[in-house]
Amino acid sequence: MEQISPAGPIYQAGTLSGNPLAMSAGITTLSILKSKPEIYEHIDRLGLMLETGFRDIAKKYNIQAVVNRVGSMLTTFFTDKEVVDFESAMSSNTNLYVEFFTGMLEQGIYMSPSQFEAMFISYAHTEEDIARTIEAADKVMSNII
């Protein structure tokens, strides 16, 4: 805590920072996650399933795409370059992402409207949800080539 302002150089603030209700919800969530390790196994497995599906579909239609994933968070960048920072992310085809986003929305799949934001998988998602998302991505990518 010595690093946090006002004692230290790091400024931290947020709408719900220190809010008792938010703190209580956070503690409860952490307790649940700690007691149920299968939650992480589930969302990581679904994350891998979605990552693999998106990669395979892009390859199938010869679309240059990179899928970055950490656990249950992932983002698809339409580029042939590895995306490791802001500069490499900026090399992606954002117009193609707009087509992908719009097509997915038409298929009933709600994604982040910006290519620079991540998708999140929750414990509520099922294999069927991911399969449906992959099926929608296949349909959309087949039409944007």
Q: Give me the pLDDT at residue 10, please.
A: 86
Interatomic CA distance for residues 53 and 24, integer angstroms = 37
Interatomic CA distance for residues 117 and 67, integer angstroms = 12
Residue 114 in tokens: 């910006």
CATH of domain 38-143: 3.90.1150.10
Q: pTM for this one?
A: 0.83
Intervals of CATH 3.90.1150.10 along the chain: 38-143
CB 77 within 8 A of CB 68: yes
Q: Give me the pLDDT at residue 63, please.
A: 97
Please list the pLDDT of the chain residue by residue as tens digits (145 residues): 788 888 888 888 877 777 899 899 999 999 999 999 999 999 999 999 999 999 999 999 999 999 999 999 999 999 999 999 999 999 999 999 999 999 999 999 999 998 899 999 999 999 999 999 999 999 999 999 6
Residues 6+ apart with CB under 8 A from 57: 63, 134, 137, 138, 141
Residue 71 in tokens: 């656990």
The 73-77 sheet, strands edge to edge: 66-70, 73-77, 119-120
Residue 10 in tokens: 């790091």
Q: Give me the pLDDT at residue 49, please.
A: 98
